[in-house]
Amino acid sequence: MTRKLIYSLQMSLDGYIEDASGNFAFAHPEPDVHAYINDLEAGIDTHIYGRRLYETMNSFWPTAADDPNAEPEILDYARIWNALDKLVFSRTLKSVGPRTRIATADIATEIAQLKANPGKDISVGGAQLAAQFIAQDLVDQYWAIIYPVLVGGGKPMFGNIDRPLDLQLFDSRTFPSGVSVMLYRRPGR
């Protein structure tokens, strides 16, 4: 079975991953949503990031499990995140943390190499980096975690897409809080 490349982010109902001031506090999942996301992440063994998202994630998750007051779903995700391999696309980073490497080839080559190796699925995070993967039609699945809030502007989950890409809904779930998770795939993938 071929590994899938998944683009997954949390967003507002109007499609933004952060508001105009760069804040993403609206995307704070409550325990049942976080547990569901953790279950989805169990099928992934590699995360791909740009520098900014990598630095954000790496500033919290390596030590998140050290907090004696951390919720169980936070502890679970810290375990998941720390066990993942990470690939970072950056021209400025000189060093990265454990289980992480800086990409040395172009996007298509790196993805082809990852998919050629055995393993679980691969996730790309960060709207700007994902836009480059989407432009090359490399993304197999799109996971949208949608919060019931309108932020009115900011960084969109999807930038300018130069052509239509058909998607098929293959799973969805709505939580009591109003958060909806929509899982789509490219037809035939």
pLDDT tens, 158-169?
A: 988 888 999 999
CA dist., res. 137 & res. 160, Å (int): 13
pLDDT of residue 147: 97
What pLDDT does 161 receive?
85
Kindly report, residue by residue over 43-99, the tens digit of the pLDDT. Answer: 999 999 999 999 999 999 999 999 999 999 999 999 999 999 999 999 999 999 999
Asked whether the predicted pLDDT for residue 17 surpasses 90, the reply is yes
Q: Which of 53, 56, 43, 52 is nearest to 6 (CA)?
A: 43
Whole-number CA gyration radius for the chain: 16
**CA–CA separation, 144 and 154 (whole Å):** 17
DSSP assignment letter at 91: S
pLDDT band at 28 (very low <50, low <70, confident <90, very high): confident
pLDDT at 106: 95
pLDDT of 99: 97
d(CA 100, CA 121): 16
Question: Collapsing DSSP states into helix, strand and coil, what is residue 89?
Answer: strand
76 in Cβ contact with 114 (< 8 Å)? no
Rounded to a whole number, what is the distance in angstroms from the first to the last CA of the chain?
11
| pTM confidence score | 0.94
| pLDDT value, residue 139 | 97
At residue 20, the pLDDT reads 94
Per-residue pLDDT, 140: 98
Please state at what angle helix 31-41 crosses helix 72-83, rounded to 10 degrees.
20
pLDDT at 75: 94
Phi, psi for 94 (deg, rounded to 5): -105, -25
- The rounded distance, in Å, linking the Cα atoms of 139 and 123 is 9
